[in-house]
Amino acid sequence: MLSRLITRVGPYLLKTEADQPPFQSLTESILHQQVTGKAAAAILGRFRAEFGNGKAFPAPARIVGASDEHLRAVGISRSKAAALRDLAAKTIDGTVPTAKALHKMEDAEIIERLTEVRGVGVWTAHMLLMFRLGRPDVLPVGDYGVRKGFAQTFRTKAELPTPTELTKRGERWRPYRTVASWYLWRALELK
């Protein structure tokens, strides 16, 4: 079944943004949570303009001491403001590894470290592993799109697989579960 999906979709074209610092990647992930892409882009633009002078991405030191009012003025909710300040503090104290350090770490260690940050869960860590670090063997079993793509590809019913079911099936795809995930996302784009 996966082979048929691969044939229909075509070549694997996952693009990574490996040059982006972890603070920037995670900030963008937090700002994109529970809002449309358009709204997130607008907030991110205002955030960059206000805290990074519109040119460079804001430094963690600029954010750690920012008030709720200052962050809310650019459209960031109170909970996201708290998450961004925690991310900034944990970037400064080394809890969030540098890009260079991340490349040397195992996936499980990265997930453990990143999920210490408020507002960063396993899904966010998986996205960083896949789209920033280009790790080949990540299966985000909690991702709705991956689950829905799996249901479309492997099931006759519209019922989504549980994370446990997806984990079990994903063992067949080792060590290229990122590739399988990418194709499952593409399944949702097919007619």
The residues assigned a catalytic role are 143
Query: What are the helix (H) ranges across 52-137?
Result: 60-64, 68-72, 78-92, 99-104, 107-114, 122-131
Q: Report whether 137 contacts 178 (CB < 8 A).
A: yes
What are the tokens at 175? 């060590």
Q: Report whether 115 contacts 121 (CB < 8 A).
A: yes
How far apart, in whole angstroms, are the C-alpha atoms of residue 15 and residue 131?
Answer: 7
Handedness of CA 144, 147, 152, 157 (dihedral sign): negative
| Residue 68 amino acid letter | D
Q: Which of 3, 5, 4 is nearest to 186 (CA)?
A: 5
| Residue 170 amino acid letter | G
Radius of gyration of the chain (CA): 18
Return the axis-axis angle of helices 144-154 and 177-187, rounded to nearest 10°.
80
